[in-house]
Each structure stands twice: as structure tokens, then as C-alpha cells.
Amino acid sequence: MAFNKVTTTPFDDQKPGTSGLRKKVTVFQQPHYLENFVQSTFNAAGNCQGKTLVVGGDGRYYNATAIQTILKMAAANGFSHVWVGQNGILSTPAASCVIRRYQAFGGIILSASHNPAGVDGDFGIKFNISNGGPAPESITNAIFTNSQQIEQYQISDASDIDLGQLGTQQLDGMSVQVIDSVADYAELMQSLFDFTAIRDLLTQGTFRMRFDAMHAVTGPYATEILENQLGAPKGTVINGVPLPDFGQGHPDPNLTYAEELVAEMFSANAPDFGAASDGDGDRNMILGDNIFVTPSDSLAILAANATLVPAYKNGLSGIARSMPTSQAADRVAEKLGIEAHETPTGWKFFGNLLDADRATLCGEESFGTGSNHIREKDGLWAVLFWLNVLAVEKRSVEDIVHQHWQEFGRNYYTRHDYEAVPSEQAQSLMQHLQNQLADLPGKQFNGNTVSYADNFSYTDPVDQSVSENQGIRIGFESGDRIIYRLSGTGTEGATLRVYIESYEADQNKQHQDTQLALAALIELAGSLAMITDLIGRTAPTVIT
Ligand code: VG1
Ligand code: CO
């Protein structure tokens, strides 16, 4: 066995997006493509000699093949130890947990999250640093720079590791420890929540729940924690077996894609609580009997009820949300007298705030919530948090949501996505908006005056790093907002996301249909951006 130096040439498209590098499987299958990116990552990460790495993924097609390559490259780059999930499986939150628990130098997570999988689907790879969180922009930028200059990569010619067998194996002088994918994560969850109270809720009364794993990575985690450890009846977890193509589905937990769960939760005999998770297990959707909890509201409600959960019984240091996420959480922070932070989209921007204990809970409108227990968003954690709150409060999801609105007001909120838009058209739409920014403040629309219009720029309060062009914001004196940004996770053309929010303090007006309540703002968002003219669409692809 030997370490080989393989000569290569750069690919020009290896710039990590919101959450790592995402491309079609066929792009990753090109000779040297994966290897170039992995070598660029190791180069950007610094000295790897004698260090420990964590590797795992969401089990999608190409996961195991890529892991064998990464292990051989890790050995040739000097790593002394690798922790890898059995059969290559680690959900994104579990990988973050394992990195932190074993004080690894970092981790490589193979996932394209909710993007469809399979031979013709998507694949993805991202690097997490020693705090367990996604590499910050300074490192992702360095990965890209390295990828543009790369001339060779290093790889061992050893044979494949048996990823099915738990325990330690050797790979060209590097030890590879195949670990149970669920155990460390499940232990962490036990340490945060009141499992006794949740078990009583799930086993002693009439309470019923359903969890949809969407044939993605959370199946084994949810089955072990909800059914085996907490006693929920068998069958509580549906679509619980991870499949390499996610059963041909689109494992994005929202009202459009989690059809089976949504149909049941809005039926006459609906369970009391429903939840779903995404491809790599970091997102969550929360439902009650005939009610959907908007992710932005979920963050605010968890924050307002955090002291009911053992891990947060002493209160929160702060709450952070991504810029397009509704301002509901800010109202909770204000009432609690704690810091509220607004960051660009993507979990990497929360890491510094969590490390510095400036935030305890974080969330995004895109079905992501998490806390300082790891450095990724965490789908099952949010589900257990809700269960813990329900177990203590002994009230319905609907009651809890409605009472929250009564106390804090309701932030009506929706996101309209226009997928697979030709990139040039999407760019020209954003440019058209950019051109209007200087003139918009002071203008009135439907009696609503624009108070600011800008392209969001964020200065990290911990390390002072600046991230520009993070999305166009139009804010009104009423607190209403319209936000536009282009997705950084898609693999086909561009996806335009339009986020619309309006605050309603009047209890008598808090129970309207969201799309109706926001109709005037939605129309304004369309006309300001000239959506129909510039991208030729009359309706969004997905509404959440
Ligand atoms: C989307 C979401 C963002 C999330 C990111 C990764 O990014 O909007 O909030 O952090 O996906 O989530 P974008 O750039 O497409 O809007 V995951 O669960 O797909 O890793
Ligand atoms: Co995800």
C-alpha cells in the first residue's frame, strides 16, 4: 500500500454555496471532481497531520462510494484517526454531535439535504470545523481558492473499509472507527430533555403522534428515540427506512412535499402532533391537529417556553434568526430582555454567536431550528423540544400557538419560491430591484410607507467579518417586510425566494388564511420585482 500523488487540473465550479458544494451526482462522478474538492478542503483546513476527522452522510446514492475515496485521501493527508458512521450514515446533527463529543479537528458531511437523490439526483459535500459547525466563509472561500489552483491530490491505494462492521480497522496507518450512527446523538438528546415526561405523554393518555422520516436519514434516529426509548407505538414513524433515492421523493418537510403526513394531520381523525424531517435530518416541520406551525413561529414559541425544558431551565442568553426569518422571535427576545441577532441565511453564521454564548437558540424560516447543544440545525431536537413543552403544558399545539399570538401578536409569514429560473433572468430581476433601492424609502404603497430598502450586509459581532449582498430587504414603517434572494443550494438554474411578512397585533384579525392576509403585500412584491415580466412566471413553484 502506498500514498500516491495524482496530477489534476482545476474545475471552475467548486465554490461552496449556502451549505457546502451541491451538484448533480453525474458532476461528482467526473474523474478527479470529488478528489479535487476534498484535497482543496484539506488544504484550506490547515495541517491535518495526526488529526481526527469525522465522516458521514445522509445515505443518498454515491454516499458510500464517496466515503471510501475520502477515507483514502484522509490517510494520505496525514489524518491519524477517522470516526465514520456505520454504513456511512450520520445525520447532519449527529455528525456535529460526534465532532464535538470526540473533539475532532473537523468533519466531512455528505449531503445535498432535501434535494432529490438517486443516479440523476443531487449530491453534496461540506466541511465542518472543530466546534461541529459549518466552516465559516473564511474557510469556504479558501476552499474555492485552493480548488482553482489545485495541481495534485494525495490518495492511498489501500482497499476499501468495511463500513458495515462496527469497530476499528486500519487503512494505511490511519485507524478508522466505524461507530453506531445513532447512539451518541440519542445520548445527547436524553441529556437535554425530560424523557420521563415525554414517555408519559406518549404512553399514558390519548395523545397520538406521527413522524414522517421521508425515507431519509432520520428514520433510524426517530425509530430508536421515539419508538424504542420513549415508547411511542410501532408505526409512529412512517417512511422510516432510508433509501438511496429517498423513495423517489423530495425530502423537504413542508406542506407541499410531506403530502402523506399533511393529509393525515388535516384529516378528521388527526393525531395530536405531527412532524417531519429532511434528507439529512437538520430540518423539521411541526404540525398539530389541523394546524401547521410556521417555522418562524416555532422558533419564537420554543424560545418563549424554553424554561420548561431541563437544558434551558435557567433561561436563554440570546436568540438568533436568519434575516428572512420572521421577526416573531425578536418580540420574545425583547420581552425576555435578551439579545436578538439577525444573520445572513445559512447555519454557518450562527457558529460564532453560539460559541460566544451570545445566542442559545437559533432558527431559520426554512424549517431549521437548533441550539447550543451542537452547531447545526437539528430536526429531531425540535420535535423533542415540542414534545417536552406539550408534556409539561398538557395543552394542544393549537392552544399553544394561539396563546402565543395573543401575547406577542402574530407575524403573518410566507415564502414564495420560483424554481429553475434561467440564471440570467434571475440576475436581471435582482438587478432591477437593486436599481430601485435608493428611491424606495419614503414611498407609499397601499398606505404603507417604505422605511428602508437595502441589500443586507452583516458584520459578525464576534470576529467583525463582513458578509455583503445577502438579500434585498424592503421594510415598511408598519414593520411589514418584503425580502428577495437567490438560493445558494440549488443545482439547476436559479431559485428566486420571496419572503413576505406582516405583523398583526389585533387578536380579532389573527386567524385569517396566511395567503389572504398577505395578499396585498404579495402583489406588491410581484410588481416591484416585475416577476411576470422578468422571469415569465405567474405563480410560484412552492409556497411555504
Ligand atoms: C436553504 C435555506 C437556508 C438553509 C439552507 C441549507 O438555503 O433557505 O435557510 O440554511 O438551505 O439547509 P438557500 O440558499 O437555498 O435559500 V439544508 O437543510 O438544505 O442543509
Ligand atoms: Co438539511
Chain centre distance of CA 347: 7
Distances (CA, A) of 304 to 359, 423, 484: 14, 41, 28
Cell of 425: 433572468
CA 276 – ligand 2 centroid, Å: 12
Mapping DSSP to helix (H, G, I), strand (E, B) and coil, where does residue 422 land? coil
* DSSP notation for 26-90: HHHTSTTHHHHHHHHHHHHH---TT-EEEEEE---TTHHHHHHHHHHHHHHTT--EEEEEEEEE-
CA 330 – ligand 1 centroid, Å: 21
Which among 91, 96, 113, 326 is annotated as catalytic?
A: 113
Mutate to test the pocket of ligand 1, among 366, 485, 498, 542 (most ligand atoms within 8 A of CB): 366
325 CB within 6 A, ligand 1:
no
Mapping DSSP to helix (H, G, I), strand (E, B) and coil, where does residue 137 land? helix
Checking if the pLDDT of 1 tops 80, the result is no
363-374 residue pLDDT tens = 999 999 999 999
Cell of 539: 405563480
114 CB within 6 A, ligand 1:
yes
18 CB within 6 A, ligand 1:
yes
Q: Residue 492: what pLDDT?
A: 80
- Please give the Cα distance from 186 to 192 (Å, whole number): 10
CB 395 within 8 A of CB 336: no
CA 193 – ligand 2 centroid, Å: 23
CB 296 within 8 A of CB 481: no
Chain centre distance of CA 452: 29
CA 505 – ligand 1 centroid, Å: 30
Residue pointed to by grid coordinates 412512517: 238
Considering the chain, what is the average pLDDT of its residues? 95
CA 152 – ligand 2 centroid, Å: 31
**Looking at residue 317, what DSSP letter applies?**
S
Tell me the angle at which helices 92-101 and 379-393 cross, rounded to the nearest 10 degrees: 90
Q: Residue 250: what pLDDT?
A: 86
Residue pointed to by grid coordinates 406542506: 255
Q: Residue 248: what pLDDT?
A: 86
176-218 residue pLDDT tens = 999 999 999 999 999 999 999 999 999 999 999 999 999 999 9
Mutate to test the pocket of ligand 1, among 18, 214, 541 (most ligand atoms within 8 A of CB): 18
**In the chain, what is the straight-line distance between the N-terminal and C-terminal CA atoms, in Å?**
52
- Please give the Cα distance from 463 to 460 (Å, whole number): 6
Checking if the pLDDT of 381 tops 80, the result is yes
pTM equals 0.93
Q: Residue 289: what pLDDT?
A: 97
Q: What are phi and psi of 225, to 5 degrees?
A: -75, -50
Mutate to test the pocket of ligand 1, among 123, 345, 419 (most ligand atoms within 8 A of CB): 345
CB 138 within 8 A of CB 465: yes
Cell of 266: 388535516
Ligand 1 atom closest to the CA of 115, numbered from 1: 19
218 CB within 6 A, ligand 1:
no
Ligand 1 atom closest to the CA of 485, numbered from 1: 16
Choose among 219, 275, 186: nearest CA to 87.
219
65-110 residue pLDDT tens = 999 999 999 999 999 999 999 999 999 999 999 999 999 999 999 9
Distances (CA, A) of 113 to 123, 145, 209: 9, 25, 24
The residue whose C-alpha atom lies closest to atom 6 belonging to ligand 1 is 19
- Please give the Cα distance from 367 to 544 (Å, whole number): 10
- Please give the Cα distance from 416 to 540 (Å, whole number): 6
278 CB within 6 A, ligand 1:
yes
Beta partners for residue 277, in sequence order: 284
Domains of the chain with bracketed CATH: 3-180 (3.40.120.10), 185-408 (3.40.120.10), 410-543 (3.30.310.50)
> pLDDT class for 131, splitting at 50, 70, 90?
very high
Residue pointed to by grid coordinates 401575547: 407
22 CB within 6 A, ligand 1:
no
Residue pointed to by grid coordinates 470545523: 129
If you average pLDDT over residues 294-322, what whole number do you get? 98
Tell me the angle at which helices 63-76 and 33-45 cross, rounded to the nearest 10 degrees: 50
Ligand 1 atom closest to the CA of 322, numbered from 1: 9
Active site residue 113: yes
Q: What are phi and psi of 506, to 5 degrees?
A: -75, 115
* DSSP notation for 241-258: S--TTGGG-----STTT-
The residue whose C-alpha atom lies closest to atom 20 belonging to ligand 1 is 113
448-494 residue pLDDT tens = 999 999 999 999 999 999 999 999 999 999 999 999 999 988 788 89
